[in-house]
């Protein structure tokens, strides 16, 4: 495209993301952006599930740019320390411990060897493992959202990403129990979340006493039997990660199955709609975060299969990432902090529709880092 080689556009895209993030860091500092409204990221409390993505992006850019920018590192470390209030507070912890501590403490530990970060990562993993329901063999997703609610039977597809924290904890501690929990949960994903066509359910509700499946729900998708695109991205990436950590063929096969569904539903510009089965004008709304997350997952998947298959996943990832860069980026707009326009957080609840999202930005940077072969990657 535009006569540039792949290496040229990827370097240009990386430098644009780095420059814009440095600018943003002067206003945002050590805080927790989620969705951009009117050009500025709205800052959330540290306990919100997205708290890891800003520091995670800073670590990724820091590590991928010759570790030369201590300013980004210092902000990421400050964010990590602020999360102690959540980790030690216990009451606000749910299954998103992986999103939050893989991209802060595990990232820090991988890059610097900091002992305090290793301990934080292990504490977070212990809290996550403790959410395992033995009867249903699932990790409980959320705590009650309001007084009297019982959601102890709820598991969600997003947790496929969080299990990487458990695989990491077993690897660093030598204790296999974390991995056992992660595998049991991912086996449940295979059994109950993936449909025969490769699309996925967002939510499965189990009887927490017997483990019986009570209901499958659309959750953040359009309808129970629709196909929420970010859910597909969580599944294809999470299953590729589970394969990376275990070598279990069934995870790789399922990741490929979900990837085929995802790739074949992409519109002409390669960036997914928020739900692949939403009808009419509603179905035209994009979710760039699903695109960037899937792109990074597809690049991992491509690295796990024979060359004869790898090109399918790699080419799809490159097409998505290049389209995000060319058609959805904000490089010439200093009045917008988000890197990517047109993310959709939660359509059914009418929250953050068609706006930049911090996890969309994070996975976009991570996908570029994968194309540049500039890890480490904190899920692995
Ligand atoms: N529930 C996390 C997400 O919006 O993907």
User: Cβ < 6 Å from ligand 1: which residues?
Assistant: 158, 220, 230, 345
Mutate to test the pocket of ligand 1, among 34, 44, 49 (most ligand atoms within 8 A of CB): 49
Closest to 302 in 3D by CA, of 293, 312, 310: 310
The per-residue pLDDT for range 90-130, each reduced to its tens digit, is 889 999 999 999 999 999 999 999 999 999 999 999 999 99
Tokens of 364: 């976009």
Its sign, for the CA torsion 333, 337, 340, 346, is negative
As a whole number, mean pLDDT of residues 295-315 equals: 98
What spacing in Å lies between the alpha carbon of 115 and ligand 1's midpoint? 30
User: What is the distance between the alpha carbons of residues 21 and 231, in angstroms, rounded to a whole number?
Assistant: 27
> Which helix H or strand E contains 156, and what residues bound it?
strand 154-156
Distance CA 260, CA 254 (A): 10
Average pLDDT over residues 316-331: 98
* φ/ψ of residue 353, rounded to 5: -100, 130
Which is catalytic among the residues 96, 275, 287, 361? 96
Pick the catalytic residue: 158, 275, 287, 361? 158
Confidence of residue 47 (pLDDT cuts 50, 70, 90): very high
Token representation of residue 53: 């993505």
* Residue 156 CA, closest ligand 1 atom number: 1
Q: What is the mean pLDDT of residues 319-324?
A: 98
Q: Which residue has the tokens 């699903």?
A: 290
Euclidean distance between CA atoms 45 and 153, whole angstroms: 26
What ligand 1 atom has the least distance to the C-alpha of 346?
4
Which has the closest alpha carbon to 231: 279, 278, 161, 164? 161
Residue among 52, 158, 231, 344 to mutate when testing ligand 1 (max atoms within 8 A of CB) = 158
CA 204/CA 161 separation, integer angstroms: 16
Q: What mean pLDDT value characterizes the chain?
A: 97
pLDDT-derived band of residue 161, with 50, 70 and 90 as boundaries?
A: very high
Q: Name residue 275's beta-bridge partners.
A: 228
pLDDT of the residue at 90: 87
Say if CB 95 and CB 141 are below 8 A apart: yes
- CA 321 to mean position of chain CA atoms: 15
Average pLDDT of the residues in 309-326: 98
Res 3: pLDDT: 83
What is the mean predicted confidence (pLDDT) over 69-80? 93
Tokens 């959601």 locate to 151
Atom of ligand 1 nearest to the CA of 219: 1
pLDDT over 90, % of the chain: 97
Cα 229 to Cα 285: distance, rounded to the nearest angstrom:
11
Q: Separation of 201 CA from ligand 1 center, angstroms?
A: 13
Name the residue with the closest Cα to ligand 1, atom 4: 345
**Is 158 in the active site?**
yes
332 is an active site residue:
no
- H helical segments located in the chain: 6-28, 53-64, 70-82, 84-89, 97-101, 107-112, 115-129, 159-173, 177-192, 229-246, 249-264, 288-302, 307-323, 358-371
The answer on pLDDT for 302 being more than 80 is: yes
Rounded to the nearest angstrom, the distance between the alpha carbon of 263 and the centre of ligand 1 is 20
CA distance 120 to 117: 5
Q: What is the CA radius of gyration of the chain?
A: 19
Q: 3-class DSSP state for residue 337?
A: coil
pLDDT at 347 over 90: yes
The token pair that represents 184 in the structure block: 């049991």
8 CA from centroid of ligand 1 (Å): 33
CA of 345 to the centre of ligand 1 (A): 7
Residue 56, token pair as written in the block = 């995670």
Ligand 1 centre distance from Cα of residue 130 (Å): 21
Average pLDDT over residues 227-244: 98
Q: How confident is the model at residue 53, as a pLDDT? A: 98
Closest CA to 57 of 81, 24, 83, 82: 24
Q: How far apart are the first and last CA of the chain?
A: 32
Give the mean pLDDT of 285-309: 98
**pLDDT level of residue 67 (50, 70, 90 thresholds):** low
Ligand 1 probe mutation, 34, 95, 345, most atoms within 8 A of CB: 345
pLDDT over threshold 60, residue 1: no
Mean local confidence (pLDDT), 321-329:
98
Shortest-distance Cα residue to atom 2 of ligand 1: 158
Please state, in angstroms and rounded to a whole number, the distance separating the CA atoms of residues 280 and 45: 36
């Amino acid at each position: 495209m535009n006569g540039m080689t792949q290496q040229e556009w990827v370097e240009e895209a990386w430098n644009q993301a780095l420059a814009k993030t440095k600018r943003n860091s002067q206003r945002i500092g050590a805080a927790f952006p989620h969705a951009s409204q009117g050009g500025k990221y709205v800052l959330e409390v540290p306990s919100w599930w997205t708290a890891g993505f800003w520091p995670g992006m800073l670590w990724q850019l820091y590590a991928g740019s010759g570790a030369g920018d201590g300013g980004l590192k210092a902000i990421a470390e400050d964010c990590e320390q602020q999360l102690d209030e959540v980790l030690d507070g216990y009451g606000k912890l749910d299954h998103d411990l992986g999103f939050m501590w893989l991209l802060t403490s595990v990232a820090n530990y991988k890059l610097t060897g900091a002992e305090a970060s290793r301990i934080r990562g292990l504490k977070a993993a212990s809290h996550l493992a403790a959410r395992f329901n033995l009867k249903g063999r699932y990790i409980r997703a959320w705590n009650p959202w309001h007084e009297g609610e019982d959601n102890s039977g709820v598991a969600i597809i997003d947790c496929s990403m969080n299990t990487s924290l458990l695989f990491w904890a077993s690897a660093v501690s030598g204790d296999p129990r974390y991995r056992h929990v992660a595998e049991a949960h991912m086996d449940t994903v295979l059994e109950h979340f993936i449909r025969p066509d490769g699309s996925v359910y967002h939510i499965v509700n189990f009887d927490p006493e017997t483990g019986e499946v009570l209901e499958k729900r659309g959750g953040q998708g359009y309808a129970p039997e629709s196909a929420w695109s970010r859910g597909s991205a969580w599944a294809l990436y999470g299953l590729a990660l589970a394969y990376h950590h275990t070598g279990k063929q069934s995870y790789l096969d399922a990741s490929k199955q979900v990837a085929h569904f995802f790739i074949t539903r992409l519109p002409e510009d390669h960036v997914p709609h928020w739900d692949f089965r939403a009808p009419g004008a509603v179905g035209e709304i994009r979710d760039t975060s699903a695109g960037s997350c899937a792109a990074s997952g597809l690049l991992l998947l491509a690295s796990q299969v024979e060359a004869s298959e790898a090109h399918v996943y790699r080419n799809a990832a490159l097409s998505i990432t290049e389209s995000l860069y060319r058609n959805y980026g904000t490089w010439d707009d200093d009045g917008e902090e988000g890197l990517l326009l047109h993310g959709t957080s939660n359509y059914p609840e009418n929250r953050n529709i068609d706006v930049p999202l911090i996890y969309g930005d994070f996975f976009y940077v991570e996908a570029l880092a994968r194309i540049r072969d500039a890890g480490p990657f904190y899920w692995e």
